[in-house]
């Protein structure tokens, strides 16, 4: 098998025109080295980034119907960042197939995380051009399938109280209200219990080593409770 055939087996996609794959593997350093116009993978990287964002955004949108833009954006950032894309590129062995300048080769370009991430996006773009959106989507979901399996819950929110207020304000102008209902333990090791209410109804409770931590736990519990019915609602 040729090198490209081996790579296509790893990708799980056979190119009709392997020129697109070769272009995806061509590092910009080639153009600098030759000092003349040479096609390289930056345009494919640009295209692949857009396809990748669209596919993963759609999957998150459909998988988590109870979540708004904030947590969905955080979840997408967890899936698509330079570090994770470099891991995908390294796992597929893209580095060994890169077409590099001699200088880039000598400076470890085949294993540079930024290069592997860029090349992974370029490969996505090449698959899109060669096989269309569905082929690119199938490839992306194969690559990110295990990550989606781990996303039964979205990443822990950095600001659950803010997220809860945003969620509720989409339905009512009244903000959530927090109350400390109990505190126990010695001064150096207190445990607080808080409730969060909206429109006179208790939404959830939370505990923590400080009032702020207890309120955050209550907000997280309230968000989970409020979103469960939305996630379970049948498609119209």
Q: What is residue 173's DSSP assignment?
A: S
Short-list 71, 228, 75, 73, CA closest to 163:
71
Exposed, middle or buried, 51 (CB in 10 Å: 0-12/13-18/19+)?
buried
CA separation for the pair 197, 200 (Å, rounded):
6
Does residue 67 contact residue 154 with C-beta atoms inside 8 Å?
Answer: yes
Selection from 229, 132, 215 nearest residue 175 by Cα:
215
The answer to whether the beta carbons of residues 126 and 21 sit under 8 Å apart is: yes
Residue 173 has which token pair?
A: 């102008």
The two structure tokens encoding residue 199:
């429109």
From 59, 121, 130, 193, the catalytic residue:
121
Return phi, psi of residue 26, to 5°. Answer: -90, 115
Question: What distances in angstroms separate CA 142 from CA 32, 48, 138, 148, one per listed residue?
Answer: 35, 16, 6, 10
Please check whether residue 138 is in contact with residue 48, taking contact to mean a CB–CB distance below 8 angstroms: no
CB contact set of 33 (below 8 Å; sequence gap of 6+): 101, 102, 103
From the list 45, 49, 104, 193, the catalytic residue is 49
121 is annotated as an active-site residue: yes
Task: Round to whole Å and give the CA distance between 130 and 152.
Answer: 33
Mark whether 104 is an active-site residue. no
Please identify every residue annotated as catalytic.
49, 121
């Amino acid at each position: 098998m040729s090198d490209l055939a081996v790579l296509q087996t790893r990708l799980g996609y056979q190119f009709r025109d392997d020129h697109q794959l070769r272009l995806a593997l061509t590092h910009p350093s080639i153009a600098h080295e030759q000092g003349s116009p040479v096609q390289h993978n930056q345009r494919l990287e640009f295209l692949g980034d857009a396809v990748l964002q669209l596919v993963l955004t759609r999957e998150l949108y459909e998988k988590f119907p109870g979540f708004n833009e904030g947590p969905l954006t955080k979840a997408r950032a967890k899936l698509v960042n330079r570090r994770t894309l470099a891991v995908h590129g390294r796992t597929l062995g893209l580095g060994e197939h890169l077409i590099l300048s001699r200088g880039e080769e000598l400076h470890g370009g085949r294993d540079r995380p930024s290069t592997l991430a860029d090349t992974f996006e370029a490969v996505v773009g090449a698959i899109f051009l060669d096989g269309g959106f569905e082929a690119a989507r199938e490839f992306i979901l194969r690559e990110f399938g295990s990550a989606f399996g781990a996303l039964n819950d979205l990443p822990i929110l950095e600001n659950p109280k803010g997220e809860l207020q945003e969620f509720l304000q989409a339905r009512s102008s009244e903000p959530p209200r927090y109350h400390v209902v109990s505190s126990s333990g010695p001064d150096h090791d207190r445990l607080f219990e808080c409730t969060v209410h909206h429109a006179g109804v208790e939404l959830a409770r939370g505990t923590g080593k400080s009032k702020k931590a207890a309120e955050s736990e209550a907000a997280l519990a309230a968000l989970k409770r409020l979103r469960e019915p939305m996630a379970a609602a049948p498609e119209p």
